[in-house]
Structure 1
Amino acid sequence: MRVLVVMGSKSDFHIAEKVTGILDEFGIDYDVEVASAHRNPKRVEELAKKDYEVFIAIAGLSATLPGVIASYTTKPVIGVPVSAKLRGLDALFSIAQMPPGVPVAAVGIDNGKNAALLAIEILALKDESLKKKLEEYRERMRS
């Protein structure tokens, strides 16, 4: 599998569907897991150490999941803040304000679609056919 989509809670599934819809459209292999950084820290560590090329972590509230994953891998981690409390600003700030040396890319609140597209851009750096699909997708979006 190329991408791991991790949700902190089953209640985030509606955001994961936005991610997987785009990944399916591009034919990207992925796995989906539910693992809370607070309730299942060992499981999160195990997942972060698996051989995926990109991680997409969906989390609300304190949104520590993307940062915890990033602490265990040198692979790209994309955080998707979920609108739970404070209209998702708490989650956005948690993801965007990572300490130096532990980067996490952040997309907009509830924007699973952009997380998937960013993951595809990363994968397309080494995959010409995927790059072509992405260019065609962008062209369709402009029309």
Structure 2
Amino acid sequence: MKVGIIMGSQSDLKVMSEAAQVLEDLGVDYELTIVSAHRTPERMFEYATTAKERGLAAIVAGAGGAAHLPGMVASMTSLPVIGVPVKSRNSIDGWDSILSILQMPSGVPVATVALDGAKNAGILAAKIVGATNDTVSKNIDKFMQDMKDKVLDSAESVEKEGWKSKI
């Protein structure tokens, strides 16, 4: 099983690349492409309606501005869709993207992460894959343990060396 990563335009790639990177780090296969809900609706329809037969387990969809891509894709597939609101140059501080993805009508859920939160979207997609893939599940467990160890190491260092040495 793999994860699909899509975005409305190439300008979203800097943000969305974080999902790709974390999936690579966790050993999850993925595909990444550009699919615009407004400029290439036929491409979006084909992508969404064939995703399951192509072996996708989940779709991470990033979009800025009106941010219709995640919701429109979710309306056309039974796969889980994780929306990433992207703060674009013509954005209203990202609120337009956040609300467009978050406020989906009943029956068309989209899991929504924080503004520019593609890394968390990738982690959530990996957890979806890991629910039925022991190797990915173990990679996620290790990732979580590494985060815990990093915090504990930082706490020990601050306590031992003092806060002034850390800023």
Which TM-score tier does this pair reach, normalised by the shorter chain?
over 0.9
The percentage of aligned residue pairs carrying the same residue is 41
| Corresponding residue to 1:62 among 63, 66, 69 | 66
Distance in 2, matches of 1:115 and 1:92, equals 14
Q: What residue in structure 2 maps to residue 129 of structure 1?
A: 135
Give SS of 2:36's match: coil
TM-score, length of structure 2 as denominator length: 0.83
Task: Tell me by how many angstroms 1:27 deviates.
Answer: 1.6
Deviations 1:86-142 (A, max 9, x none): 221110111110000000000000011000000011111111221111111001011
In the alignment, structure 1 segments of 5+ residues that lack a partner are: none
Alignment of 1:103-114 (within 5 A): 103-114=109-120
Counterpart residue number, 1:15: 15
The 5 Å alignment of 1:37-48 reads 37-48=37-48
* CA apart distance, 1:2: 1.0
- In the alignment, which residue of structure 1 is the partner of 2:36? 36
- Note if 1:119 corresponds to 2:125: yes
Give deviations 1:38-75, integer Å, cap 9, x for gaps. Answer: 11011001111222110000100010000010011010
Which residue of structure 2 aligns with residue 138 of structure 1?
144
Q: Which runs of 5+ in 2 are unaligned?
A: 150-167
Question: Which amino acid letter does the alignment assign opposite residue 55 of structure 1?
Answer: I
* 2:104 is the alignment partner of 1:98: yes
Amino acid paired to 1:100: S
Report the CA distance between 1:23 and its aligned residue.
Answer: 0.8
Separation in 1 of the partners of 2:134 and 2:99? 34
* Contact in 1 for aligned 2:58/2:125 (Cα 8 Å): yes
Deviation at 1:26, TM superposition (A): 1.3
> Which one-letter code corresponds to 1:20 in the other structure?
A
Partner SS, residue 11 of structure 2: helix
